[in-house]
Structure 1
């Protein structure tokens, strides 16, 4: 279990600076299957599944995590895949919350 999975998100309504790319790159070591989109900046990962049912089950699990943490991703859902993208919109960049939720989603993999 990574350190990030043990944390909980903290409310972020703006008024704080987004993390630097250096800080983001350091945290990427804890979520190596994700990609850092530096131009956003944002985190994203594509998950692939055998069928639509598995895809939607995964999306529902993400919804549970997002509501529990009160931090919500952008999702692109297709028949056999789901692209998950995190960025803290209130600050226009990345926060710890994005990395915490990405790590919790990684824990869903079987």
Structure 2
């Protein structure tokens, strides 16, 4: 199921778009079981922490998530630290969760599962 969600593309979302309803939430959440719905300090958000062996791997993952976000024109909050990255998805325009957030969470999981190596190109 997660693969099906990850294969979808995000739709343009404006302030009049409907957030995911409480009734829809369980079916979508079941497709991204490692994600938490966080409901503190504002609208509900999807959040997951990914672990890495070092900062370079965490930074490379952050870059790949950023590239996917640019392709879909839907952007997360990313906190990159030594050995971990916290990814948070929500839709600012509607102040809550949209199907786009679940799509991007599934895409983020696929990026993590790919375990591709960081680019060998030096940027420093």
Q: What TM-score range do you get, normalising by the shorter chain?
A: over 0.9
User: Which deviations, in whole Å up to 9, do the C-alpha atoms of 1:49-85 show, x marking residues without a partner?
Assistant: 0001000000000011000000000111111111000
Residue of structure 2 in register with 1:87 after alignment: 90
Give the TM-score normalised by the residue count of structure 1: 0.93
Residue of structure 1 in register with 2:22 after alignment: 21
Residue of structure 1 in register with 2:104 after alignment: 101
Unaligned runs of 5+ in 2: 116-124
Please report the RMSD computed on the Cα atoms of aligned residues, expressed in angstroms.
1.3
- Does 2:51 align with 1:11? no
Residue of structure 2 in register with 1:66 after alignment: 69
* Structure with max Cα Rg: 2
- After superposition, residues 26-45 of structure 1 pair within 5 angstroms as 26-39=27-40, 40-45=43-48
Paired residues in the alignment total 110
1:52 to 48, 55, 60: 55
Unaligned runs of 5+ in 1: none
Give the TM-score normalised by the residue count of structure 2: 0.83
